Amino acid sequence: MEALREKKGFICDMDGVIYHGNRLLPGVKEFVDWLYREGKQFLFLTNSSERSPRELQQKLARMGLEVDESHFYTSALATARFLSTQAPGCTAYVIGAPGLFNALYDAGITMNDVNPDYVVLGETQTYNYDNIVKAVQLVRQGARLIGTNPDMTGPSENGIVPACRAFVAPIELAAGKSAYFVGKPNPLMMRTGLRMLGVHSDEAVMIGDRMDTDMIAGIETGLDTALVLSGVTSREEIEAFPYRPRLVLNGVGDIPPGE
């Protein structure tokens, strides 16, 4: 644990690590206070594409946790960055929440439901049969299929709920095309996070609640890894994977040393 505390950079997932729904998890405030007190570089890097960094900052503020907007990076921002570098000025048909639309607009990507370059999917509560059919038609006509992240499920206050990968799957099956996923464990998002922190991979740790995204992202990018059991992964489920996190914690509240 002491080696973890000595790291300069901390990349943390949010859902299942910092909060569930609108409930701050135990020990989070103490953890964030410790990060600030020790002068650590930290980033909340989330595969969720629903909210902008400002909305995430305000969400935490409503829970009583004050964190500057600069400490957030989302899969929506990573997707917008990826598309704008791959095809500047491209167009997209988008199924997602405002955080994704805003990120794409800010990157110069315009909406197009006739002949877009890309079909882009993120988490949304407006997913329905009509937009699935539209997406399938556009992909079959040549639009490239992009998912903001490969999470099949996510944690909520009411239990496990479908996430982006589950939304993309019917479109892949019907269109006969595989999506490209930008979020964790894609190294693109992790490397951007390290650049934002200004630290080398061996100076940083990835803290998350998922073996299939958070832990493998940390391992493949050369970061130390800490799995917290406050989200979707149980201690028993770790054994099903061929890789291991360096540490397994009950939650981020285990990290600050006791007084």
At 166, give phi and psi (nearest 5°).
Answer: -70, -35
Q: Which tens digits make up the pLDDT trace of 72-113?
A: 999 999 999 999 999 999 999 999 999 999 999 999 999 999
| Structure confidence at residue 175 (pLDDT) | 98
Q: Examine the pLDDT at 40 and tell me if it is beyond 80.
A: yes
Q: Examine the pLDDT at 184 and tell me if it is beyond 80.
A: yes
Does residue 123 contact residue 96 with C-beta atoms inside 8 Å? yes
| Structure confidence at residue 182 (pLDDT) | 96
Q: Which CATH class is domain 76-181?
A: alpha beta
Rg (CA), the chain: 18
Tokens 């990076």: give the residue.
Answer: 73
| Structure confidence at residue 164 (pLDDT) | 95
Cα separation, 223 vs 194, whole angstroms: 10
Q: How are beta strands 9-12 and 204-208 bridged, if at all? A: parallel
Burial class (CB in 10 A: 0-12, 13-18, 19+), 216: buried
Place 21 in a pLDDT band, splitting at 50, 70 and 90.
confident
Q: Is the dihedral of CA 89, 93, 96, 98 positive or negative?
A: positive
Does residue 225 contact residue 246 with C-beta atoms inside 8 Å? yes
Q: Nearest CA to 122 among 154, 142, 97?
A: 97
CATH code: domain 2-47+184-254 is: 3.40.50.1000
Place 258 in a pLDDT band, splitting at 50, 70 and 90.
confident
Q: Which two tokens stand for residue 140?
A: 């079959």
Q: Give the helix ranges, DSSP H, for 119-186.
A: 129-140, 164-175
Mean pLDDT of the chain: 95
Q: Examine the pLDDT at 156 and tell me if it is beyond 80.
A: no
| Structure confidence at residue 161 (pLDDT) | 83
Q: What is the pTM of this model?
A: 0.91
Residue ranges matching CATH 3.40.50.1000 in the chain: 2-47+184-254, 76-181
Q: Examine the pLDDT at 259 and tell me if it is beyond 70.
A: no
pLDDT: is 52 or 259 the higher one?
A: 52
Q: Which tens digits make up the pLDDT trace of 235-256?
A: 999 999 999 999 999 999 999 9
13 included as an active-site residue: yes
Place 53 in a pLDDT band, splitting at 50, 70 and 90.
very high
Q: Give the helix ranges, DSSP H, for the chain.
A: 2-5, 28-37, 53-62, 75-86, 98-106, 129-140, 164-175, 187-197, 216-221
Q: What would the mean pLDDT of 216-224 be, rounded to a whole number? A: 95
At 206, give phi and psi (nearest 5°).
Answer: -100, 125
Q: How are beta strands 153-156 and 159-162 bridged, if at all? A: antiparallel
Catalytic residue among 13, 209, 214, 254: 13
| Structure confidence at residue 158 (pLDDT) | 74
- What residues does 144 pair with on adjacent strands? 118
- What residues does 119 pair with on adjacent strands? 93, 145
